[in-house]
Amino acid sequence: MSLEAAFAARRSVRALARDSLSLADAAQLLWAAQGVNREPRGRTAPSAGGTYALETYLLAGRVRDLPAGMYRYRPATHDLVLVRSGDLREELVSTAVRQTWATDAALFLVFAGVYERTAARYGPRAERYVPMEVGHAAQNVYLQAAALSLGTTFQGSFNDTAVTRVLGLPPAERPLGIMPVGRPR
């Protein structure tokens, strides 16, 4: 699909089929969000001063060849590290405000920010730069989902404390956005 076609197809999709997705689809979405696209460590989404404040998590429920669980994406090696076994999708949906439609998603991408990485270089401007970074990564996911004929929507309406608890995020990580992904109905 051309970039122009992906732009034309990009939309927020809240009606998802209960189909499974392939591991290749999940890997491509993760790479689009935060993958390394040039050496030594450049990524697909820009980051203020190359500080890369984002941590990206995959909550897999219906991903073929990947057991249900929460995984941390490692961009440098383009792989996943199991953080927690089991299907956390419903528990995550319960943290969101009026987002029950997301229970049909095959997987969720969750972005968390480590503001200290950016603040070490830019001080208080990190409060501006880190949200910009998640916006760049989310738009990449939207375009990649469109190119794969998948649907997603960026969710920012959730209880931060509840998301942190459900996912067991480290104290330095703040949840910034959730993207349920599946096949459009």
Asked whether 80 and 72 are in contact (CB, 8 A), the reply is yes
Q: Is the pLDDT of residue 162 over 90?
A: yes
Q: Is the pLDDT of residue 47 over 90?
A: yes
Nearest to 137 by CA among 5, 26, 8, 35: 35
Which two structure tokens, joined as six digits, stand for 34?
């935060």
Q: Is the pLDDT of residue 93 over 90?
A: yes
Average pLDDT over residues 137-146: 97
Length of the chain: 185
The angle formed by the CA atoms of residues 114, 87 and 16, to the nearest 5 degrees, is 90
For residue 69, the domain's CATH number is: 3.40.109.10
Amino acid found at 17: A
Average pLDDT over residues 141-167: 96
Identify the pLDDT of residue 98: 81
State pLDDT tens for residues 18-40.
Answer: 999 999 999 999 999 999 999 88
Tokens 């122009």 sit on residue: 4
Q: Is the pLDDT of residue 141 over 90?
A: yes
Question: Can you give the pTM of this predicted structure?
Answer: 0.95
Domain count, the chain: 1
Mean pLDDT of all residues belonging to the chain:
96
Identify the pLDDT of residue 100: 87
Identify the pLDDT of residue 41: 83
Where in the sequence is the domain holding 78, given as residue range(s)? 3-182
